[in-house]
Amino acid sequence: METAAYLTTHTGPPSPKRDAIMAAALELFAERGFHGTPVPLVAEKAGVGAGTIYRYFPSKEALVNALYQTWKSALGRRLLDGFPADAPVREQFHAFWSRIAAFATENPKAFAFLELHHHAPYLDDRSRAIEMELLMSIAAFLEATTRKQVTKDLPPAVLIAIAYGAFLGVMKGHWTGHLPLTPEVLDAAEACVWEAIRR
């Protein structure tokens, strides 16, 4: 598998102010949501004037889409770059699980942000295209495993919902302090999910 060509982050010249705005917005959007985060609050947290934000992003919608595209692209690359396409299906599933777990634990704010905003009406066409490209790559993998009679004969969307829903439940348990996110917990959860989707 390969990540789509357009799954890239911002490629303009380095800008410390832009980076500060993006970092502040990520934290605030993850904690307060889009509607609960006014632009002046982003500016205050980034240490810039509100007008400075509009030099880089024409609107709050443009800012949230830039963040979404950056981090969804990063997740896509983490999942798909160098994917072990020739490995047995069980090992491939483990690769998916361990890669998304690593991304979520290394980037907890970004993962929470993506989860909070991925169905938002203010996402633009590019953001939705990046989301769809990633979903289609995973769906194609599951279609192939179903044809090989390795996974259950269910639509890919159902298999994705089962696997991702379980993963998200583990992460939410960790975020709320009810579940320690140890390697043993992640491995046990992954084994349970595999049993749920395999034939």
Tens-digit pLDDT profile for residues 138-188: 999 999 999 999 999 999 999 999 999 999 999 999 988 899 989 999 999
User: Closest Cα to residue 64, out of 25, 31, 104?
Assistant: 25
Rounded distance between C-alpha atoms, residue 198 and residue 146, angstroms = 9
> How many alpha carbons lie under 13 Å from residue 128 in its C-beta half-sphere?
7
User: Closest Cα to residue 141, out of 197, 73, 102, 62?
Assistant: 197
pLDDT of 65 > 50? The answer is: yes
DSSP 198: B
Q: Is the pTM of this model over 0.85?
A: yes
pLDDT of 42 > 80? The answer is: yes
Tell me what pLDDT residue 119 has: 86
**Ordered domains of the chain (ranges, CATH):** 13-57 (1.10.10.60), 61-197 (1.10.357.10)
Tens-digit pLDDT profile for residues 80-93: 999 999 999 999 99
